[in-house]
Amino acid sequence: MSADINKAPGKLFLIPSSLGGDDISAIWPAGHVALVNKLDEFIVENLRTARRFLRLAGYTRSFDEVQFHLLNKHTRPEELNGFMKNVLQGKDIGLLSEAGNPCIADPGQVIVAMAHRQNIRVVPLVGPSSILLGLIASGFNGQQFTFHGYLPIEKAARVRKLKKLENAVWKHKETQIFMETPFRNNQLLQDVMGNLNPETMLCVACDLTTPTEFIKSQPIAAWKKEMPDLHKRTSIFLLFRS
């Protein structure tokens, strides 16, 4: 799809959302509200949660006047060009994440890649990242780290992956960061406890930026004495060496 030669493309704003709390003022600079209120077209992963977040954030437009494009596992590749049609005609639109920053453990990267290919300016807005918040609060190496996203679902494959990450920690002194769906957190924690070196350091960063926030770094041996219940709590996990 090509742009109108008489019009410069609009901008694609990458809009971060909450990690779980309702106090949007704690995670958004004041200028974000005015900027987002100028937009009436968004690419989102879930319509209901996107609308809820926008209202919490101070979005005042009627949703009857707003165009939403759904980008998730059900989106067909042939639909994507239509998402960018109005941007190519000079309109600014927003890409809104489900949690935290867009494009990290999130399908939005395909839209950003399209924007670059079509010479659309990409504007990332400041907001919370559980990965970086967990890293800076862990006390682990912030100069060398790798984020692995979700580990394998199957137990044997997950344990193999954990041991591979632990080897990177001890061999290269590189922080290893990963996550799990909230309802499988406790199983993941059990695999960490049962298969990794008791001296390996583990940081659990849970419910970041919310009133129930919990962050703690200690050796796996110490975690075995006080296993937290992380069921259905949004968490990030980090491994390092003492």
Sequential pLDDT tens for the chain (242 residues) = 444 556 799 999 999 999 987 888 888 998 999 999 999 999 999 999 999 999 999 999 999 999 999 999 899 999 999 999 999 999 999 999 888 899 988 889 999 999 999 999 999 999 999 999 999 999 999 999 999 999 999 999 999 999 999 999 999 999 999 999 999 999 999 999 999 999 999 999 999 999 999 999 999 999 999 899 999 999 999 999 98
Which domains occur in the chain, in start order?
Answer: 11-124 (3.40.1010.10), 130-240 (3.30.950.10)
Contacts 24+ apart (CB under 8 A), 50-56: 50/96, 53/17, 53/18, 53/24, 53/96, 54/96, 56/18, 56/22, 56/24
Encode pLDDT of 190-223 as tens digits. 999 999 999 999 999 999 999 999 999 999 999 9
Cβ atoms 217, 138 nearer than 8 A: yes
